[in-house]
Amino acid sequence: DVKVTQSSRYLVKRTGEKVFLECVQDMDHENMFWYRQDPGLGLRLIYFSYDVKMKEKGDIPEGYSVSREKKERFSLILESASTNQTSMYLCASSLSREGETEAFFGQGTRLTVV
Amino acid sequence: AQTVTQSQPEMSVQEAETVTLSCTYDTSESDYYLFWYKQPPSRQMILVIRQEAYKQQNATENRFSVNFQKAAKSFSLKISDSQLGDAAMYFCAYRTAPLAGGGADGLTFGKGTHLIIQP
């Protein structure tokens, strides 16, 4: 079974703190994604990566950065956390091969910024 | 940019009945994939069913089936014999076909439909 693991299920941080959300996948997937989920808005793509050290902006990258130093790990960084970044964060991974399009998700991190 | 619209924020169905969740999308691509994901209270996103745009036959997975109308850009999910365990948020999602040279696009999601199963 593919496993995508996010380092924390719940996190509480203070405004202005630098926050790291970590995600690890164990199936050698090329692609990794960070989504933000808010009630009534669905899931919105923050950043994605299709290879080590490669990153692409998604739909809502402002206030976030990412790091992918190893294939299995994709980190989301909030440089200076703000209360409007309180949300559920979901990491996902997938293959790039034709026909292999399913994305596998982690269990989510509920981040509260106070 | 692609958009995915789920017009039903919440649906309710009696146990053992059939329910259909609606999804429409907008794209200029000809080759793409469509998905329905389920998110129960545990928050784990689970793939329910997948449809390749080039396949005319509607996908089916046990009690779950889709009605894919490519020209109308419609992709509805039918759940037959609803069970209490089907209660969840359901998300429709779109993805362009993988690029020939590698690379990826993320999934574009709808806002979700909250499905309630009445015992």
B46-98 pLDDT, tens digit each = 999 999 888 888 999 999 999 999 999 999 999 999 999 999 999 999 987 76
Q: Which residues from A are below 8 Å from B112, CB to CB? A: 42
Q: Select the residue of B47, B102, B106 nearest A96 (Cβ to Cβ).
A: B102
Burial B50-62 (b: 16+ CB within 10 A, else e): bbbbeeeeebeee
Q: Select the residue of B52, B102, B107 nearest A50 (Cβ to Cβ).
A: B102
The reported pLDDT for the residue numbered B99 is: 57
Q: Which residues from B are below 8 Å from A108, CB to CB? A: 43-44
Q: Which residues from A are below 8 Å from B44, CB to CB? A: 105, 107-108
For the four alpha carbons of A26, A31, A37 and A42, in that order, the dihedral sign comes to: negative
CB contact A101 to B (< 8 Å): yes
B9-26 per-position pLDDT tens digit:
999 999 999 999 999 999
The reported pLDDT for the residue numbered A2 is: 64
User: Token match 């009605």: residue?
Assistant: B67
Q: What residues in chain A have per-residue pLDDT under 50? A: none
